[in-house]
Amino acid sequence: MITCAVWFAQRLWQTLGKVHQETNSGNLSQRSGVFLNRQFRRRIQVAVMIGLSGFFMAVGACIPTKNHPKVFILLWGLAILLLLWSIVIAVIDAISVSVHYSRIHHQQIAEQIRVQYELEKKRQEQRDAHNQNESPKPENDKNNEHF
């Protein structure tokens, strides 16, 4: 169990370093950096609460219910409460992810519409410039040359 805890702490430290490196690299907008930090904290909280719930369940399963009913109820109650809170945080995380990426999607659509408008405007300007350069040329009347 100690080995698992050390491994988990090492992975957590590496992931935390990657998240901070990514948010401080300048590749992300400030909003995306804040989003990633909050998402990371929520997910770590859920992982810790699930781990604690498992610990409480394991300890609760080892306690005889006839000798210590209050401790048994307390441990299992804490385990269930932590699992329910984990579910609430998971739902909040899912909503947050959906809102964040929906906002990015709408920004991309708006940018695409703006670029298409600019492109069409430039094409129209080129057509107008081309049409102005092609002013009507006087035609040589071949019939008049014979007279």
Domain segments of the chain as ranges: 20-96
More confident residue, 13 or 72: 72
Q: What single DSSP character describes residue 28?
A: S
pLDDT at 127: 87
Query: ∠108-113-114 over CA atoms, to 5°?
Result: 95
Q: Is 75 exposed, middle or buried (0-12, 13-18, 19+ CB in 10 A)?
A: buried
Phi/psi for 67 (5° steps) reads -85, -40
- Whole-angstrom Cα distance, residue 46 to residue 17? 19
- Whole-angstrom Cα distance, residue 47 to residue 9? 12
pLDDT at 140: 57
| pLDDT tens digit sequence for 60-117 | 888 888 888 898 888 889 989 999 999 999 999 999 999 999 998 999 999 999 999 9
Which residue has 């169990």 as its token pair? 1
- Where do the H-state alpha helices sit in the chain? 2-24, 30-62, 69-133, 142-145
Q: 26: helix, coil or strand?
A: coil
Q: Is 53 exposed, middle or buried (0-12, 13-18, 19+ CB in 10 A)?
A: buried
Name 16's Cβ contacts closer than 8 Å, sequence gap at least 6.
40
- Whole-angstrom Cα distance, residue 16 to residue 9? 10
pTM over 0.85: no
Question: For residue 120, what are its two tokens?
Answer: 């069409």
Question: For residue 102, what are its two tokens?
Answer: 């929906």
